[in-house]
Structure 1
Amino acid sequence: MRNDPGPAANPLSATEGWLTPCIQKAHERSESFGLKSSTQPDYDVLPAPDLTVKREQNRVLTAHALPVMETLREQIVNTQSMIVLTDAQGLILHSIGDDDFLRRAEKVALRPGANWAEDRQGTNAIGTALAERSATVVHGDQHYLAANRFLTCSSVPILDPYGDLTGVLDVTGDYRSYHQHTMALAKMSVQMIENHLFASKFRDALQISFHSRPEFLGTLMEGIAAFTFDGRFLSANRSAQFQLGLSLTALRAHTLASLFGLTSGELIDKSRTSRDSIVALNLHNGAVVCAHVDYRRATMTNSGWPREADRTQRGAESRPAQAGAATNAVRLGHLDTGDPQVASVIAKVRKVIGKDIPVLITGETGTGKELLAQAIHNDSPRRDGPFVAVNCASIPETLIESELFGYEEGAFTGARRKGALGKVLQANGGTLFLDEIGDMPYPLQVRLLRVLQERVVNPLGSTKSIPVDIAVVCATHRSLREMIAQNRFREDLYYRLNGLVVKLPPLRERTDLAVVIEKMLDDETACATDGRRPAIAPEVMALFEQCAWPGNFRQLGNLLRTAAAMVDDDGEIRREHLPDDFFEDLAMRAASGCGSQNMNANTDMSAGAAPDAAAPAREPLEGAGGTRLHDLTLSAIAAAIARHGGNVSAAARALGVSRATIYRKMPVASGAKNANGDD
C-alpha cells in the first residue's frame, strides 16, 4: 500500500510509552466508531463552493492564522512537512508546505476540504487534539489507521478570546523526519494566533498586559486581560490565567479592582503619570507584576473618558447620536437595484412598516439581512430613535441574558455600580434587530417571548417591570421550523416573530448582479484616496455572471476590493486581477453541470424550438485571453483524475460530482476507469 518501511522501522515503536494513555484512549474511541486499522480512510472532500462557505464562516480565525502559518513555514521549510489549519470540527481550511510533501499528503486527503475528526480518520493529532482539547503528538504507528502511519503530526487547539475551541493548528511531516522541537514551534504559533484574536476582539476595551519580569512585556509570554471601562472583567489569555492562578471561569467572578487592587480611573491615571508607560501592579495573590495599560484605542470624549465608559454611564443620552447616524444610512429605495425577488421583498416590507408587525428576514449568510433591517428602521416612523443590533451567535451564552435584559447593581459578582441597561431597553423608542435569532439559547427564548408579548423588561436582580416600546426585526440563516421539530427553538416564539417572513435571495439567483457590482465599486471609489473608479472588462463580467458566489455579498465585496487595489494604470479589472479560488469555484460549478445550465439559458429557446436532447451543449462564454470555462472544467477534471491515480470515482467525490458527469464532459476518462478497474 505504501513504499515506506514497516512498523519495525518506526523509531518510536520500540520505545517505552509508545502507546501513551492519551493515545490508548484515542485508539479505544476509534474502535468504538467502528473503525479498523485496515479501514480505508474517509477521503470525501468538500466541493470548492462549500469549502469557500466554510472559510467565510471562519474568516476571523483565518485572517489571524494565515500570517502566522507563513512565518512558521519559513522556520520548517525543506523538512518534508506541511502546516494545516482546521475549524473546530476538524475540517481543514488551509494548508501550506513543501510541494512534494503536499502531493504525498493529498493521497490520504490531508488537504483543504477534508475532515480529520477521530470518527473519520481514527487516532490522529488533529482529531485527538480536538477530542482532548490539548496539544497532541501522534507519530507513525500511533495512528489508528494504517494508511496514515507514514505521518508524524503535532497539533495544538486554538481557543477564541472567550476560551472556546475555534480550530487546530497542525504541523505534519514524514514520520522519518520527526523532530521534538516541532510541537514547541506549533505551540508558540498558536499563542501568537490567540493573542492576535484577543487583541482584535477587545481593541476598544481596557487591556492590561503584564508579567513579573519587564523584559517579557511585548512577547508571547505576557499575560493580557481585558475589562470594560468601569472595571467589569471580559476575558484573559492563557498566560494571564496562569499568572493570576485562576481559570477563565473563575476570573468571570472578578473585577479589575479585585484582581489588581485599582479602579479603572486610578489605573489610567497611574499609567498617564508613568514615564515609560510601565506601571507596577499588585495581583490579588500578592505577586507584583510590571504592566502596560492600553486604553487609547477607544475614542475619547470631551470629559477625557473613553466613549464606551461615558456611554454606559449616561445610557440613553447617547441615543440622538446613534439615531443621527442611522438617518443618513441606507434606505429601502437604495436596495432596489432591479431584481424582481428583492423588489417583492421591499414591497412587502413597506406595507407593514409602522404597523407593529415583526419582520423575520431569512436567507443565506452574506445576503444582506442586517442591511435590510437597517433600511427598514430608516424608512420607519422610528427613524429618529435608536437602531440596536444584537448578534445572538456572537455573545457567549453566559452573557447574553445580561446583555439583552440588563441588570441591577449587585445582581451578580462583578456587576458594575448602578447596574446596566440591556440591549432591549437601549432600543426603547426605536428598533431592536436580533441577528441569528436561531442561535439564541433555548432557556432565554421564553424571556424574550414575554418581553415581546407584554412589552416590559425585568433586569437581572430587579423586581421592577420596565415598559419598553420597540419594533422588532429578526434574521436567521437557519430553518427555524426544523429547529422547532428538534426542540431547539420554541414554537410559540416563532409564531410571535414571523408576522412577516421575507427571504433574501442568494447572489447567484439575482438578476441585478451588474448593477450591484457598479454600486459596490462606487462605494470603493468613495473610500479610495485617489478617487479612481475601476472599470470591469467585459470578459470578467461574463465570468462574474457564471459564479455561484457561495459567500454572497461578503465574497463579492472582498473580491472587488482586492481587484480594485490591483488594477493597472488603465483602471480596468481584468482576469489576472482575480484570485485563484474564484476560478476554482467556476470550474467546480461547470463540472457539476450548473454552469452550462445557466449559460444555455440565454439560447434562443424563446423562439419555440424544442431542445434537442442529443445535441451537444453550447460552448461556454469565453473568459479573458480566450480561455473558456469549458477548458477550466476539463483542467479541473484532469487534475483530479491525475491526483487520484486515475481513479474516476475518487476524482468524482473530490469534485463533488457524479462519475457520469466526468465521463460526459471528458470521455477520455473512460480509459482511466478501465485501466484502474474502477467500478
Structure 2
Amino acid sequence: MTPVAKPQASSIECAPGASPRTAFIERSHERSKALGLTRAEKCEFDPLVRSDLALARERNHRLYLHAAPVMHLLLEQIVNTESMILLTDAQGTILHAVGDDHFLARAGRVALMPGENWAEHSKGTNAIGTALFEEAPTLVHAGEHFMLANDFLTCSAAPIFDPRGAMLGVLDVTGDHRGYHQHTMGLVRMSARMIENHWLSDDNNNRLRLHFHSRAEFIGTLLEGILVVGADGRLLGANRGGLDQLGLSDAALRAMSLPSLFGTTTAAVYDHFRMPMSAPMRLTTVCGKTFFVTARFDWPSRPVIAGLGLDEPTPAAARPRPATVPVPAAAPHGLQYLRTGDAQIEQVVAKIRRILDRDIPLLILGETGTGKEVLARAVHQDSKRASQPFVAVNCASIPESLIEAELFGYEDGAFTGARRKGAPGRLVQANGGTLFLDEIGDMPLQLQARLLRVLQERSVTPLGSNKSIPIDIALISATHRNLREMIEHNEFREDLYYRLNGLALRLPSLRDRSDLEAMTRRILQAERPQDAPELSAQVAELFRRYPWPGNIRQLANVLRTAAVMSAGEHQITVAHLSDDFIEDARRAGPRPPALVEPARPLEIPPAAVQSSLAPAPTPTSIPATPHSLEQASIEMIRAALEAAGGNISAASKQLRISRNTIYRKLRWSNGG
C-alpha cells in the first residue's frame, strides 16, 4: 500500500480522515460524477492495441530510460508486499508495470495494466488520474476510489515534470489496501524527484551544473538543489529542490545570471574546482541565503533516442570547461547524424538544408516507423531555434475530446475535467521553438479550421479565454496517410494542406533503403557503446531479406532486444532474436537458407584434448559423433531447431526443456 507524508494543513497527502484530505477526495468525486461515471460501474477493458502501445512506449522511451533504474530500486523496497509499480505518460496511459506476479494478476482484473488509461475521465478518482489533474503527489486509499471495484487498492502517485515544468508522466505504487504503509508516499515522491533530476542532468550534460544546499552533508542527496549555468553565466534552469531553496519560480530564475544571484562568475567557479577533491564553495545570494556548492561538468558520450538519438551537444568551441578537461571528438548530430549512405536520404537532407531557417513549413510523408519524428528533431537541432523548445504532438494518440485543449490550452474551469490551474497548450509551449504535429491526417476535421487560423494569425486563444497570445513557431507536420485522397473525400481541409505543405518530403521505407548495415551498426553502437556486437552472417542475410513492415522503429526494437540477449558476446546470432521476429520472417516470404546458425567446431579446453579424437566437423561437413554428453545435447538442440524452422518455443516444447536452457547451451557451443 502506498505511504503518506506527515499531515500538513495544506497538503493533499495528509493522513486518511483529515479534513483537507476529505475535501480533496470529494472534489475528485464530484469531477468523476460530472464526467458521467458511476461508482458501481464495472471496470471496462479498453487497452491500446499492441502497435499503439508500442508507439506510446517509443514516444516516451526517454522517460522510461530515466525511470527504469529508479523503478528497479523502488521495487527492491516493496518486494513481497503485494504491490506493483506503474509508469504512465502525461495522458494517464500505463506504459510499464513491475511488481509481485500474484498482485499483477489481481490488478489485471481491474484493468490496471500497460495500455490502459487511468486518467480521471476514464477511471474516476484514483491516484494516477487525480495526480495528473492536480499536478501534485496523491494518495487514494481503499474506498476513496470512485469506482467501488478498485476499493481493494491503495495507490500512491507522484507526477514527473521536465525542467520547464511540463508534465512527463506519473510514477505510482499500488498495493493491497490491507498492506498500507505510511512511508510509501515518501518513497514515491523521492523516486519521482530522482527521475526529474536525471532528466535535468541529461538535458544539460554538456553544461556547468551547480549542486547546492544550505547544509554541506545534504549535497549529493535528493534534497540538494541543482542549478544549470550557461557559458555566458545565464541561469538556464534548476530542479524543483533548487527552486524551493532559492525561493524562485522557473521564469524568475531564467531571468537571472550567476553574478546576479551569487555574486560570482563561471570563471571563478571553474578556477575553484580545477583541482580534484576541491572543497565545496560557500556562496551567498543577494537575499542573504548561504549555500554550500559543488560543480559538475560531464561531456556527452553518445546520442540516445531509440538508437537514433539526437540530443545535440553544444559545439565544442562554445563549451565552458576547465583547462584540464580534454575535448572529445565531436560526434555527428542533427541532420548529419541521419546521413548513413542512402542516396534518398541524402536528397532529403540536401532539400532541408536549402529551406532551413526560412520560415517554410515542412511536411514529412512516409510509412509508420520510418523516422519522421527523428527527422523533425534533427531539423530543429540544426536550426537557429535549437536552444528553444521542441514540442511534439501526436494527433492520433490524444483523445478527440481533449486534443483541442492540448493544442490550444485552456483557462481554469474552462470545461469539466480540466486541470485545476488551467494549461498553456502545446502551441504556447512551443513558442520560440519548433512545433511537430505528428499524424496530422488524424486531426479531427472541426479542429483543422481553428489550427489554420492560428497558423495564419500567429496567435492562439485558449479555451475559456478572450485573450489572444502571440506565438512564433517553426512548423513541421508528418503523416503516413494520403492527404490528397482525404481532401477528395472531404476528410482533410485543402487550405490547411497547402498551409502545411511548404516543402513536402517523403521518407523511404527501410526495405527501399541501401544503408541497412550502416543503420544497424549505429543502433548497436548506441545500445552497447563499450562493446557493440556484430551480426552473424546468417542474421545479416536474414535482415537483408526481411521486408521490415515496422521500418526503423522495428529494426531498433529487434536490435535492442538482441543487444541485451547477446550481452558479453561479440556477435548476434539467430539464438538472440525474438521468436516473434523469426516467425514473422518465415511468414514474410522465401525463408533464408538457414534460420539456425550452422554447427561450429566444438572448442575443448587444451587439457581435455586427446590425440585419439577425430577432428571437429566443419560447418559444411556431416557432424561427427559427439565427443561428450554436452556436445550430444547441443547437437540434439540444433536438430530440433532445424526441424522447427528456427522456432525456439516449438523446439523447447519438443525437447521438454526451457528456452533459457536452449539459449545457454547455444551460447556455450559458440564460445560465449
Q: For the superposition of Structure 1 and Structure 2, which TM-score range results when normalised by the shorter chain?
A: 0.5 to 0.7
Distance 1:209 1:323 in 2: 28
**Quick check: 1:261–1:284 contact (8 Å CA) kept in 2?**
yes
Aligned-pair CA distance for 1:553: 1.5
One-letter identity of the residue aligned with 2:506: K
**Quick check: 2:335–2:375 contact (8 Å CA) kept in 1?**
no
- Superposition map of 1:104-119 within 5 A: 104-119=106-121
Answer yes or no: is 1:179 the counterpart of 2:181: yes
Q: Secondary structure at the match of 1:144?
A: coil
What is the aligned partner in structure 1 of residue 463 from structure 2?
Answer: none
**Quick check: 2:563–2:572 contact (8 Å CA) kept in 1?**
yes
Question: Using a 3 Å threshold, how does the CA distance of structure 1 residues 352 and 529 change in structure 2: closer, same or farther?
Answer: closer
Distance 1:375 1:89 in 2: 26
Aligned-pair CA distance for 1:57: 0.3
Identify, as 1 or 2, the structure richer in helix. Answer: 1
Distance 2:367 2:291 in 1: 48
Aligned-pair CA distance for 1:578: 3.3
Distance 2:16 2:212 in 1: 45
What is the aligned partner in structure 1 of residue 96 from structure 2?
Answer: 94
Distance 1:129 1:45 in 2: 21
Residue of 17, 23, 44 corresponding to 2:46: 44
Residue of 608, 615, 624 corresponding to 2:646: 624
- Superposition map of 1:654-669 within 5 A: none
What is the aligned partner in structure 2 of residue 335 from structure 1?
Answer: 342
Aligned-pair CA distance for 1:294: 2.2
**Quick check: 1:547–1:586 contact (8 Å CA) kept in 2?**
no
Question: Using a 3 Å threshold, how does the CA distance of structure 1 residues 544 and 601 change in structure 2: closer, same or farther?
Answer: closer
Question: Using a 3 Å threshold, how does the CA distance of structure 1 residues 586 and 477 change in structure 2: closer, same or farther?
Answer: farther
What is the aligned partner in structure 1 of residue 364 from structure 2?
Answer: 361
What is the aligned partner in structure 2 of residue 160 from structure 1?
Answer: 162
Distance 2:99 2:331 in 1: 50
Question: Using a 3 Å threshold, how does the CA distance of structure 1 residues 231 and 573 change in structure 2: closer, same or farther?
Answer: same
Aligned-pair CA distance for 1:492: 7.5
Taking every aligned residue pair, what percent have the same amino acid on both sides? 41
Question: Using a 3 Å threshold, how does the CA distance of structure 1 residues 402 and 267 change in structure 2: closer, same or farther?
Answer: farther
Distance 2:54 2:532 in 1: 31
One-letter identity of the residue aligned with 1:65: A
Aligned-pair CA distance for 1:576: 4.2
**Quick check: 1:520–1:557 contact (8 Å CA) kept in 2?**
no
Question: Using a 3 Å threshold, how does the CA distance of structure 1 residues 444 and 14 change in structure 2: closer, same or farther?
Answer: closer
Q: Secondary structure at the match of 2:647?
A: helix
Aligned-pair CA distance for 1:195: 0.8
Distance 1:353 1:245 in 2: 44
- Superposition map of 1:583-602 within 5 A: 583=580, 599=588
Q: Secondary structure at the match of 1:557?
A: helix
What is the aligned partner in structure 2 of residue 674 from structure 1?
Answer: none
TM-score (norm 1): 0.61
Q: Secondary structure at the match of 2:55?
A: helix
Residue of 199, 204, 213 corresponding to 1:202: 204
Residue of 390, 393, 408 corresponding to 2:391: 393
One-letter identity of the residue aligned with 1:145: M
Distance 1:176 1:543 in 2: 55
- Superposition map of 1:280-319 within 5 A: 280-295=282-297, 297=299, 310-311=317-318
Q: Secondary structure at the match of 1:56?
A: helix
The CA deviation string for residues 168-210 of structure 1, in whole angstroms up to 9 with x for no partner, is: 1111011111111110111111111111111111111221110
Answer yes or no: is 1:225 the counterpart of 2:227: yes
Aligned-pair CA distance for 1:275: 6.3
Question: Using a 3 Å threshold, how does the CA distance of structure 1 residues 180 and 624 change in structure 2: closer, same or farther?
Answer: same
Residue of 236, 242, 245 corresponding to 2:244: 242
Aligned-pair CA distance for 1:251: 2.2
Distance 1:542 1:202 in 2: 36
What is the aligned partner in structure 2 of residue 407 from structure 1?
Answer: none
What is the aligned partner in structure 2 of residue 663 from structure 1?
Answer: none
Distance 2:101 2:383 in 1: 51
Answer yes or no: is 1:124 the counterpart of 2:126: yes
One-letter identity of the residue aligned with 1:393: V
Structure 2: gaps spanning 5 or more residues = 1-13, 302-312, 321-328, 394-425, 441-450, 460-469, 592-642, 654-672
Question: Using a 3 Å threshold, how does the CA distance of structure 1 residues 540 and 96 change in structure 2: closer, same or farther?
Answer: farther
Q: Secondary structure at the match of 2:534?
A: coil
**Quick check: 1:361–1:473 contact (8 Å CA) kept in 2?**
no
What is the aligned partner in structure 2 of residue 20 from structure 1?
Answer: 22
What is the aligned partner in structure 2 of residue 82 from structure 1?
Answer: 84
One-letter identity of the residue aligned with 1:25: R
Distance 2:121 2:227 in 1: 36
Question: Using a 3 Å threshold, how does the CA distance of structure 1 residues 401 and 177 change in structure 2: closer, same or farther?
Answer: closer
One-letter identity of the residue aligned with 1:223: G
**Quick check: 2:391–2:429 contact (8 Å CA) kept in 1?**
no
Q: Secondary structure at the match of 1:183?
A: helix
Distance 1:257 1:443 in 2: 44
What is the aligned partner in structure 2 of residue 608 from structure 1?
Answer: none
Question: Using a 3 Å threshold, how does the CA distance of structure 1 residues 373 and 180 change in structure 2: closer, same or farther?
Answer: closer
The CA deviation string for residues 610-639 of structure 1, in whole angstroms up to 9 with x for no partner, is: xxxxxxxxxxx965236579x9xxxxxxxx
Q: Secondary structure at the match of 1:110?
A: coil
Which range is displaced more, 226-235 or 526-535? 526-535
Q: Please, what is the CA RMSD of the aligned residues? A: 5.1
TM-score (norm 2): 0.62
Q: Secondary structure at the match of 2:97?
A: strand
Q: Secondary structure at the match of 1:24?
A: helix
**Quick check: 2:373–2:438 contact (8 Å CA) kept in 1?**
no
One-letter identity of the residue aligned with 2:119: A
What is the aligned partner in structure 1 of residue 663 from structure 2?
Answer: none
Question: Using a 3 Å threshold, how does the CA distance of structure 1 residues 399 and 568 change in structure 2: closer, same or farther?
Answer: closer
Distance 2:336 2:152 in 1: 61
**Quick check: 1:19–1:142 contact (8 Å CA) kept in 2?**
no
Aligned-pair CA distance for 1:276: 1.8
Q: Secondary structure at the match of 1:75?
A: helix
**Quick check: 1:525–1:531 contact (8 Å CA) kept in 2?**
yes
Question: Using a 3 Å threshold, how does the CA distance of structure 1 residues 586 and 17 change in structure 2: closer, same or farther?
Answer: farther
What is the aligned partner in structure 2 of residue 560 from structure 1?
Answer: 559
Question: Using a 3 Å threshold, how does the CA distance of structure 1 residues 248 and 98 change in structure 2: closer, same or farther?
Answer: same
Question: Using a 3 Å threshold, how does the CA distance of structure 1 residues 365 and 259 change in structure 2: closer, same or farther?
Answer: farther
Distance 1:164 1:327 in 2: 27
What is the aligned partner in structure 1 of residue 310 from structure 2?
Answer: none
Question: Using a 3 Å threshold, how does the CA distance of structure 1 residues 266 and 525 change in structure 2: closer, same or farther?
Answer: closer
Question: Using a 3 Å threshold, how does the CA distance of structure 1 residues 170 and 476 change in structure 2: closer, same or farther?
Answer: same
Q: Secondary structure at the match of 1:393?
A: strand
What is the aligned partner in structure 2 of residue 503 from structure 1?
Answer: 506
What is the aligned partner in structure 1 of residue 598 from structure 2?
Answer: none
Distance 1:46 1:490 in 2: 28
What is the aligned partner in structure 1 of residue 465 from structure 2?
Answer: none
